[in-house]
Amino acid sequence: MAYNCIRLHLALGFIISSSFILQGIAAENLSKEKLTSRILQDEIVKEVNENPNAGWKAALNDRFANATVAEFKRLLGVLPTPKKEYLGVPVVSHDTSLKLPKEFDARTAWSQCTSIGRILDQGHCGSCWAFGAV
């Protein structure tokens, strides 16, 4: 049990420190050259895996293998979404007097839906990562 807690602590520390690094990058006024440079995944994986106290092993994530700094910044909501990505998305409005249930479980309500339970990439919104962290 204690070993798992240490592993979780180290993993969270890595994620938090990575977040600070990305926030530092976001705070910089990056040149076009820096924005198009590739994220140094190999170096990050190597650093984690060479640390005997890490308690976990890092691996490359194919989803981000060729991501640029600009793409990461957009994913994290630091850069605005290009208009072409959201033009044509219909606007849906609902009556404000609509009564919503106190509880709702989509897995029960729409059990025939095969995509319920799969976490899809929400782009720069980041909500897919919130689901993954729960």
Considering only residues 68 and 131, tell me which one the structure prediction assigns the higher pLDDT. 68
20 — pLDDT class (breaks 50, 70, 90): very low
Q: How many CA atoms lie within 13 A of 88 on its CB side?
A: 3
pLDDT score of 41 more than 70: yes
The residues spanned by each domain of the chain are 2-83
Residue range 11-37: mean pLDDT, rounded: 51
CB 116 within 8 A of CB 107: yes
What's the Rg (C-alpha) of the chain?
Answer: 19
CA 33 – CA 69 distance, rounded (Å): 10
Q: What is the pLDDT of residue 26?
A: 45
Look at residue 8 and tell me whether its pLDDT is greater than 50: no
Q: How far apart are CA 114 and CA 110, in angstroms?
A: 9
pLDDT digits (tens, 9 = 90+) for 45-98: 888 999 999 888 888 877 777 778 777 777 777 667 777 777 877 888 888 888
Residue with tokens 């938090």: 16
Query: How far is C-alpha 63 from the geometric centre of its chain's CA atoms?
Result: 11
Confidence at residue 59, expressed as pLDDT on a 0 to 100 scale: 85
Calculate what percentage of the chain has a pLDDT beyond 70: 56
96, two tokens = 């404000």
The pLDDT of residue 16 is above 70: no
DSSP three-state, residue 36: coil
Confidence (pLDDT) at 130: 60
Q: Do 63 and 39 touch, CB atoms closer than 8 A?
A: no
